[in-house]
Amino acid sequence: MKILVCISSVPDTTSKINFTADKSAFDKNGIQWVINPLDEFALTKAVKLQESQGATVTVMNVGDATTEPVIRKALAIGANDAVRVNLDPKDSYSTAKEIASVAQNGGYDLILCGKESIDYNGGSVPGMVAQLLNQPFVNASVGLDINGSEATAVREIEGGKETISVKLPAVIAGQKGLVDEKDLIIPNMRGIMSARTKTLQVVEPTSSEVKVQGVSYDSVPPRAAVKIVSPDNLDELVRLLHEEAKVI
């Protein structure tokens, strides 16, 4: 079985987010980049399938050369090889189109990814990939088993969980719960050293078509100063909640 795991390079959650002076782009200066956490659940699941079913795992990223340290970390976690599409993606469609092209040419049985990236939170790439490939798609998966040519996925729905069976090849978008957090793999020295010798293929994009263009960005307004009200002054608390917070 051949598995393709799609990973995004995203700012570490502790990074301070800023935009350029004209607010036209994200300011990348001083940012620490990591594997998108939801993609890491997918990658760990793929490595487990590698161990239990002898699957080969390829990681891919759509990005410029600055994403290669993140790709190498994915190789250190356990992927067999990697593909980087040499494109700075501008929208979900351009990203999905390149993923679909690599998937189609590689003949993969299973495509795994996170349900969204934590930077833009669009959540549209996995579904677009499935549509472009005309393959079954399960989103927000918190469980996955493979039996021959069939995948059984569990996804969260409002008020419960739903179990779905699909024929491979298929696209599965995972989230927290696809594997236990304690099972996420931290690269050891052996994995880091072996990652240096694993193949990282760089391919040029198939298209420059972009359907959505970002116009400007705004930072989240700073939080207002905290007001402390004495527990004996309930009238003042009610007034503030009514007149300023406007929650009652």
For residue 111, what is the enclosing H or E element? strand 110-114
For residue 105, being part of any structural domain is answered with: yes
C-alpha–C-alpha distance, residues 216 and 234, integer Å: 43
For residue 135, being part of any structural domain is answered with: yes
C-alpha–C-alpha distance, residues 199 and 8, integer Å: 18
* Residue pLDDT, tens place only, 24-49: 888 888 889 999 999 999 999 999 99
* Residue pLDDT, tens place only, 190-205: 999 999 999 999 999 9
* Residue pLDDT, tens place only, 130-187: 999 999 999 999 999 999 999 999 998 888 999 999 999 999 999 999 999 999 999 9
* Residue pLDDT, tens place only, 114-125: 999 988 888 999
For residue 242, being part of any structural domain is answered with: no
For residue 85, being part of any structural domain is answered with: yes
Residue 217 above 90 pLDDT?
Answer: no
Number of structural domains (the chain) is 1
For residue 240, being part of any structural domain is answered with: no
Q: Which domain holds residue 179?
A: 2-220
pLDDT, average across residues 100-109: 96
User: Cβ-count burial of 246 within 10 angstroms (0-12 exposed, 13-18 middle, 19+ buried)?
Assistant: exposed
State the CATH number of the domain containing residue 89.
3.40.50.620
For residue 180, being part of any structural domain is answered with: yes
For residue 138, being part of any structural domain is answered with: yes
For residue 230, being part of any structural domain is answered with: no
